[in-house]
Structure 1
């Protein structure tokens, strides 16, 4: 079976060759009806001769002239859109990753490649497409598109829809020299200033959210989904569980589910000051989750970012005060980078950093961590405790007893 395909402003007719490869009828057609008419001619198979009884009174009919050879019937060519629909059903990924992939597919991949047969895409076509996108989109977006499209086409190869993957890493050319962007982080004094500002803007609970993020390195979803049953005040620990260890926000819907990775399921020890702050805050409320809105509802990242985080970090006019900016480009996730930086500064072993942050180490040395966990954790927590008290002392000196209500005495 032949089919038609648009190429720029014209149309061409495609068919399958006997060796199983797709080919094109030479030339092109100005309109789709003209191309379809030619494809229909190729698809029209000759009628089979029927058996007739010989009648001696009538001469036998002259044998028909042999029919001209016809193009072999071609199976339907699988387009990228058709394959992507099948491929999508094979994924086993988290809700946030699924939403990210769906956005890249619907906004970028399918508008460009959806109608194209998967075996008609060349590496040059892909590279030209990505190069053009660089003028409009960030490097991270281009990298994400390349990785996603590569996954889609790799699975197409595995399913024998094409021979090789046309989405390949760049191995030639000098490429673009992008400035190296290091993760933005804050020191303990900047964290305390942000926390105090959020205390002024909202509540003690959301102020404490910032402090907990900086002194545990937890992700936003892990903090927003932390149930009070998973906080052990007696022993100074909290638990990120496998079944409901994170709050997911996808397309405006909030659900509790598993954290980002298997390594994210972990126990996090707390410095004494933080245990006390959390105990005091929870004692004043019966809400089921540790960090919520003032009305006890789940926190939404976008609302927290807009109403609290941005004003506190970027500065500006607040009532009768003028707040100076804290640090350009600092995000809430930057508190996680801050925690890791603090651990590095305090000489905490890399294996302990990985366990605390929920990272997977490429080698197997994390197996030895259990033998030294107690002494390492004690040193880690002592460093965090000292950092907190340094920040409190400097904050008091800078405010000269004129400012914000204290978080802790």
Structure 2
């Protein structure tokens, strides 16, 4: 039997475990009725050991540890029951929560929902994952294994299980997956894509591509960038903790924190980009830097379909034939491109991590908590050189009949 008890200003649900010790459901409840509701849910599935009733806020008598043949053995929590409780302990971003929920509802719960958590074996899990490999990509299988392992690890921490049945595979030859290098673009290819988007849409959305490539910012950071977070005097972009990214979850757009605490950062802009952004914003009063033609928030899927795919993959446009720029290049590939450029220009890893919002391993992130002015100046000079080099090549290739330029 489960019961509720007060703990400070909140309430928690407790129960007797099979070994005779008292356990606690992970997480706490703001009110007593919420705690009682969860206790009642557990009690409804647990047979009463006697006909004696107890006060709902008092523990029932401690049972003796049951044997496997004991007909009054306590109910074992199923994966679905534990998952419902486990959700209350999560503290992740909206996108991550939506991803976890998708994996749970589409894959884990249909297979394991009614299974008691103490009846899952490592072999069962591996057989299940092996069968899924015939249908789903490696990334999906990896995500399922990691999430299921996380759920079961928390069950172990809460003493519902002795060991985690979801373990990394250490035996067998494994699967030899082809190594896939991240697709990236050079500065000329980026400029070509940007000019095509200029013709397909507007200068503002063309600048979105250029800013992504020359800052390494993520899509959400760009789509949620407010004009107040641009410092044109010093040529900087500030990504804030409270509203540093635009999140799209199940079709709903909200402003919130960026991906990680390291994503809260200040990014120095090369002079050409500062000028382009300042000119674009001076002609508008819209609050956000990058928007649709009507001044609304950008949606990644719409941008991908209407602008990015035609500009990158090529095709026919007003009697012209556009050759593909870089097969397999995604918008996120602009972030990979930026990192590649920094590596080519000899920028130290610490400066790369700070600019991209990456967390460095160990304590090196604390040691290099700042980037010296000389390193930043060298980094910016390299980006400025790339831009002018791309412009020269672009104008040279198109000649006098070139279409309107980004800088005109």
**TM-score tier (shorter):** 0.7 to 0.9
RMSD: 2.1
Distance, in Å, in 1 between the alignment partners of 2:377 and 2:161 is: 56
1:220 aligns with 2:219: yes
Distance, in Å, in 1 between the alignment partners of 2:117 and 2:175 is: 29
1:191 aligns with 2:193: no
Structure 2 equivalent of residue 139 of structure 1: 138
1:203–1:363: structure 2 CA closer, same or farther, 3 Å change rule?
A: same
Q: Secondary structure in 2 aligned to 1:400? A: helix
Can you list the C-alpha shifts for 1:42-100, whole angstroms capped at 9, x where unaligned? x89999xxxxxxxxxxxxxxxxxxxxxx9441212211000000001110000000000
Structure 1 equivalent of residue 43 of structure 2: none
Distance, in Å, in 1 between the alignment partners of 2:49 and 2:183 is: 68
Alpha-carbon contact 2:350-2:371 (below 8 Å) kept? no
The Cα shift of 1:159 comes to 1.3
1:178–1:291: structure 2 CA closer, same or farther, 3 Å change rule?
A: same
Distance, in Å, in 1 between the alignment partners of 2:297 and 2:48 is: 63
1:140-289 maps to which residues of 2 (within 5 A)? 140-289=139-288
Structure 1 equivalent of residue 112 of structure 2: 113
Structure 2 equivalent of residue 57 of structure 1: none
1:323 aligns with 2:354: no
Can you list the C-alpha shifts for 1:223-261, whole angstroms capped at 9, x where unaligned? 000000000011100100000000000000000000000
The Cα shift of 1:364 comes to 3.1
1:306 aligns with 2:302: no
1:6-25 maps to which residues of 2 (within 5 A)? none
1:77 aligns with 2:107: no
Q: Secondary structure in 1 aligned to 2:400? A: coil
70-79 or 169-178, which deviates more:
70-79
Alpha-carbon contact 2:229-2:239 (below 8 Å) kept? yes
1:367–1:120: structure 2 CA closer, same or farther, 3 Å change rule?
A: closer
Q: Secondary structure in 2 aligned to 1:249? A: strand
1:386-397 maps to which residues of 2 (within 5 A)? 386-397=385-396
Q: Is the radius of gyration larger for structure 1 or structure 2? A: 1
TM-score, reference length from structure 1: 0.83
TM-score, reference length from structure 2: 0.83
Q: Secondary structure in 1 aligned to 2:278? A: helix
Structure 2 equivalent of residue 352 of structure 1: 351
Aligned length: 351
The Cα shift of 1:368 comes to 5.0
1:282–1:130: structure 2 CA closer, same or farther, 3 Å change rule?
A: same
The Cα shift of 1:318 comes to 1.0
Distance, in Å, in 2 between the alignment partners of 1:157 and 1:371 is: 40
Can you list the C-alpha shifts for 1:202-237, whole angstroms capped at 9, x where unaligned? 000000000000000000000000000000011100
Structure 2 equivalent of residue 384 of structure 1: 383
Structure 1 equivalent of residue 93 of structure 2: 94
Q: Secondary structure in 2 aligned to 1:73? A: coil
Distance, in Å, in 2 between the alignment partners of 1:161 and 1:372 is: 47
Structure 2 equivalent of residue 5 of structure 1: none
Q: Secondary structure in 1 aligned to 2:174? A: coil
Distance, in Å, in 2 between the alignment partners of 1:174 and 1:208 is: 48
1:362 aligns with 2:347: no
1:44–1:403: structure 2 CA closer, same or farther, 3 Å change rule?
A: closer
Alpha-carbon contact 2:225-2:244 (below 8 Å) kept? yes
1:101–1:125: structure 2 CA closer, same or farther, 3 Å change rule?
A: same
Distance, in Å, in 2 between the alignment partners of 1:116 and 1:363 is: 39
Distance, in Å, in 2 between the alignment partners of 1:278 and 1:394 is: 22
1:294–1:44: structure 2 CA closer, same or farther, 3 Å change rule?
A: closer
Q: Secondary structure in 1 aligned to 2:372? A: helix
